[in-house]
Structure 1
Amino acid sequence: MNPDLGSVDADGARRALRGGAAVVLPNPAPLTYVVAATDPRAVNAAKGRPLGQAVALWAHDPAVLAALDGVLDLAPGPAALAHRLLTEERVTLLVPLRSDVQPPPWLAPAALDGWTLLFGARWTPLRPVLAEHPVLYVSSANRTGHAPAATAAEATAMFDATVPVLGCASLPGADRDPAEPPRSATTTLRLHPDGRLDLHRRGAQDRGHPNADRYLARLR
């Protein structure tokens, strides 16, 4: 059995997203799968947690990232660093919100206590699935209390049958490399207004570094 063959193909995933359903989607190694939807409550319901819990905004659309520039409390230098961390490093990023500007309503599900949580992976094979939905909400593909799914088979076994799973094997150009490293959830960083970086949660991107300071020094 192919562990990366999910329950739907790319067209099925697109239909599910159009219908407001949560869909489990693949990421490139060394990242695990994620669960995404146009409705943040659908993401939380799929994960089995409170419907109003904060989720990440999937900043896969350049126009959405540009729209955030006016509401993030970041000077030009830190703002450029945020863009690089999201698009190149593919981390999950906590960034500060300006207190004097009202953020757009679609950012509210990803905002808490003056910060917003952004997920930045823009994987080329997955872009056609996401393109219709510039605003998407996302979280790691796991039910509460379980580790994030590294394969479509793990996701299918973990989630309710009503949550479709798009496997890597269904995406052109996304064949899995047998020699790829173990997968884990994304590293989460906190970017302060002055450009300081903190490691909020360890994950795939910092795993190869001996400690947080070495990893953060490389990013700077």
Structure 2
Amino acid sequence: MIVTAASPQSLRPPPSDQDLRSLLLIRHFELALLRLFEQGAVSGTTHTCLGQEYVPVALAPLLLDEDFVFSNHRGHGHFLARHAEPYGLLAEIMGREGALCGGVGGSQHVYHRRFLSTGVQGESLPVATGVALKLAGTIGARAAAFGVRHHRITSTDVEEIRAELAPLSPPCAPSRRRWSPSSSRTGSARTAGGTTRAPRRRSSGRAGPTGTPATPRPTLENPGHFTT
């Protein structure tokens, strides 16, 4: 294997002093937390974000003061990049005085200055969506935020509502199947000419009258294909 040195032009510039401070703060915080955990000073469990520091640090300058941040079970770095309060976060994790949430949130469930984290996988997404809808204002603005067309109707008259919605709705193809009392799953079916025919039976998985094996029943191990 041949390894060539990078040319000076391809070298990336070092991070700014502020970014470097945030990166090092998150890295040393997580390492200190792991040492405390190994010593038995941290109750329960903890999840660090070692190696993931770059993402929250890169996003931090792009956020406004009124923006919300929703995080997950590895959210220490997200919090520290947003709020440089390592002592309050550590007190929260260890249940000590000065904790961000009184020590009841612990490592994963932090709610502080528009920062929210949760240990439940996927829970932040619907909560963030709800907050976004609330911030959007009117129902029309909320729909527009998601690229959904909105049409406001104030009438309670059925015909007026139908008349307003008809131009907005795609035409529906009429169904070709018609139900009649004379046709059912267990009874006989009447054809267009008025004659009757035997009902269609489902395959039982047993051999037919001629001895040829029928299609086996689908099972959990072998789902197969269902026919109608």
Tell me whether the two structures share a fold, i.e. TM-score over 0.5.
no
Q: Greater helix percent: which structure? A: 2
The two structures have a TM-score, normalised by structure 2, of: 0.19
The two structures have a TM-score, normalised by structure 1, of: 0.19
Larger radius of gyration: 2
Q: Greater strand percent: which structure? A: 1
